[in-house]
Amino acid sequence: MSDVRELLTTLRGRYNQTELADALGVATRTLRRWEVGETEPPPYLADAIRQRLLPLADPAASGNCDFQFIDLFAGIGGIRMAFEAHGGRCVFTSEWNAYAQKTYLANFPASAHAMEGDITKVDAADIPDHDVLLAGFPCQPFSIAGVSKKNALGRAHGFADETQGTLFFDVARIIAAKRPAAFLLENVKNLVSHDKGNTFRVIKRVLEEELGYHITCKVVDGAHFVPQHRERILIVGFREKTDFSFADMDFPTHKPTMSDILHPENGSEQPEGHFTTGPKAKVDDRYTLTPKLWAYLQAYAAKHRAAGNGFGFGLVGPDSVSRTLSARYYKDGSEILVSQGPRKRPRRLTPRECARLMGFPDDFVIPVSDTQAYKQFGNSVVMPVMREVARVMKPRVLGLIDPEVARQKSLLVA
């Protein structure tokens, strides 16, 4: 019955317990007993799950794709969406957070059969072959001093000494085992200066010297594509030397401002859930700061101004470019507060506005609470940045996969 329990665990990323019980036509307590092993689920349940709740086939798998990729530390799928836009097909996903899984699977339901939770427990041999590895890996502190396990790949290996215990180690061991044509790694700008530069030196040495990849790095500000200053380090690597350059990225000539992402509140868009209401789709009052919170933020800002510090809230209007949206936005929204007029209290962004601020389309499904949505978008990538990097990477990837196919495609484009 382990197969049934694995399927149930996978589906819990997409459905809560009540939703899943309803879909299977059983009581919630019955489902809970199956999940924790108190009782055995009936043997037919696996087939019922596959027929009713899992996609019968991956639509992308039935058509042609130009290359295959895996999506590690996937979050809500921003990097995946970017690479799918250029003909890639995702063959494996890993994301440990159950709420992020729910959002991911609501938008990419065909991945339910290929979703893993904790990548540290996945054997690299069980991961499908792929052409590109994508990973927005968290930057945990690197221990340079040494680690307990030195033979993670079956032999003494340099990066095992210095990155064991960090999630970068899992990226490195998968690259070592699967040898994809290319990879894209994304992280916070401060990765470069973390631990006086030691962390980044270790990462570069692992990728270049230990794994033998040719890497190019650049800090890119998402403000080229969305009205938000969001600087992130991008690390692109190729198994063989290519002419890849970040200089080939095309940036929009239009400088985006907050007016591009804020709800117009004039009836030109349809009301959505509790974000906007009424015939003019006005932003719901719940997003306006309470008098107490607004007074606190003003006093906090005044205190730090008097001390010569720059701390305080960030007030934006239609012509503004915002500060960086963070995962803590759900707490008070202080980094990005939308002005509602000189005598009115400002408001938070709605989750839909946060999605737009990260470059997600308006049909992106937000199936979680506002708190979880704020965390997810605050941890996400600026999708159009990744889409542009994918565009530049693609011909180089194809050139390594099949040089003749790449040549023919380049002729068609020309």
Neighbours of 309 (CB within 10 A): 10
CA 53 to each of CA 43, 49, 111, 302: distance values in angstroms, whole numbers, following the listed order? 16, 5, 12, 54
- Mark whether 69 and 46 lie in a shared domain: no
For strands 115-116 and 88-94, give the pairing: parallel
Residue 321 maps to a domain? no
Res 252: pLDDT: 92
| Nearest residue to 185 (alpha-carbon basis) of 132, 231, 221, 228 | 132
CB 107 within 8 A of CB 75: no
Res 32: pLDDT: 77
- Mark whether 389 and 372 lie in a shared domain: no
- Mark whether 197 and 291 lie in a shared domain: no
How many domains does the structure of the chain reveal?
3
Query: Could you list the residue range(s) of the whole structural domain that residue 293 is in?
Result: 263-316+328-378
- Mark whether 237 and 91 lie in a shared domain: yes
User: Rounded to an integer, what distance in angstroms lies between the CA atom of residue 178 and that of residue 364?
Assistant: 32
Q: Encoding tokens for residue 177?
A: 């085992």
Res 195: pLDDT: 76
Residue type, 392: V
CB 186 within 8 A of CB 232: yes
Q: CATH number of the domain that 120 lies in?
A: 3.40.50.150
Res 111: pLDDT: 78
- Mark whether 96 and 216 lie in a shared domain: yes
Residue 59 maps to a domain? no
- Mark whether 85 and 197 lie in a shared domain: yes
Res 1: pLDDT: 45
Q: CATH number of the domain that 34 lies in?
A: 1.10.260
- Please list the rounded mean pLDDT of every run of 10 residues in the chain (414 residues): 63 67 79 77 68 49 76 96 95 93 90 81 91 84 36 44 70 95 93 81 92 96 97 96 96 94 95 94 97 93 76 90 94 94 95 97 94 96 97 96 64 51
Catalytic residue positions, numbered: 139
**Would you call 268 helix, strand, or coil by DSSP?**
coil
CA 370 to each of CA 287, 366, 377: distance values in angstroms, whole numbers, following the listed order? 10, 9, 10
Residue 323 maps to a domain? no
Q: What is the pTM of this model?
A: 0.79
Res 113: pLDDT: 67
CA dihedral 156, 159, 162, 168 (to 10 degrees): -140
Residue 225 maps to a domain? yes
- Mark whether 147 and 74 lie in a shared domain: yes
CA dihedral 179, 388, 367, 288 (to 10 degrees): 140
